[in-house]
Amino acid sequence: MVPTRLHIPASYGLARPAGNPVAALALLLVLLCGALAPVVVWAPAAAQTTIRIVALGDSLTAGYGLKQGDGLVPQLQRWLRQHGAPPVEVVDMGVSGDTTAGGLARLDWALAGGADAVILELGANDMLRGVDPAQSRANLDAMLAGLKRRRLPVLLVGMRSTQNFGPAYKTAFDAIYPELAARYGALLYPFFFDGLAGRGEMFQQDGLHPTAAGVAVVVDRLGPLVLELIGKVTR
C-alpha cells in the first residue's frame, strides 16, 4: 500500500488573532506547522485480478451432446469456486472433431485474448482416425514448445489408444503424453477417461462422450491438478 499526503483545504484559512502580537505569532507558527506536516493514510489494496485459463481441446472439452452448463469447462469453473480457488476464468476453446494438427493451427488464435495458463486436451480424434503417433507427437510437441516460449504453465490431459490399430500403435501413442509432459515440465493428467472406463452409464449413447455425471467424475479428479496449475501462475 502507498502512503498518501493528505492536503489541507484552502478553506482552513488563518484568522488574524487579536491581542498580544507575540501570542499571535506563536499561534500562527503552530497552525502553519500543523498544516504543513504530512498526514499518512493507507490506500486500500488493489483488487485481485482474475486468472485466465484457456482450455484448448476437442469435443471432450467443448461438452459435446450436453446441456449448457454440463460440459467440462462450466463444471470445472464451479468446482474451482467451491474449492476455494482464487478468482479464475476457464475459457472454453474446445472444438468438436479437432485433432492435434487443428489445435496447432489455431494455437495463436486461441491465445489471442490472453492467457495465464493452458489446459491442453487433444489427441483422441487422432487416435480414432489412426493418425500416425509420430505426427500426433510432433503436433503436441510444437504446441508445448510454443506455450513454453510464452512462459505459460500447462496441464496436459492425456489419452490412451484402443487396441484397434494393434499393440505397436498403442505403445507408441500411449507414450506421447507422459514423455512430452516430462520434457516440458507440464502437469499431467494421464488419461481423460480415468474413473469412467467400464462404466457404460457414464457415457452418452455414442459410447465416446461422457454424460454430465461422467464429466463430474472427470472434474473431481482433474480439479486438484488445475489448482496446482493455478499455483504456477506468476504475474
pLDDT for 57: 98
Q: Active-site residue 209, yes or no?
A: yes
Catalytic residue from among 58, 59, 98, 161: 59
What is the per-residue burial (b if ≥16 Cβ within 10 Å, else e) of 50-59? ebbbbbbbbb
**Most distant pair of Cα atoms in the chain: their distance:** 109
Q: Active-site residue 7, yes or no?
A: no
pLDDT for 234: 73
Domains delineated in the chain:
3-42 (no CATH), 51-231 (3.40.50.1110)
pLDDT for 22: 45
Q: Active-site residue 58, yes or no?
A: no
pLDDT for 106: 98
pTM: 0.80
pLDDT for 48: 64
Catalytic residue from among 98, 116, 126, 209: 209
Residue 94 CB contacts under 8 Å (≥ 6 apart), including other chains: 55, 56, 57, 58, 59, 60, 61, 62, 63, 71, 72, 73, 121
Q: What number of other Cβ atoms are within 10 A of residue 217's Cβ?
A: 17
> What are the average pLDDT values for consecutive 10-residue runs of the chain, which has 235 residues?
36 40 43 41 53 98 97 98 95 98 98 97 98 98 98 98 96 98 98 94 96 98 98 84
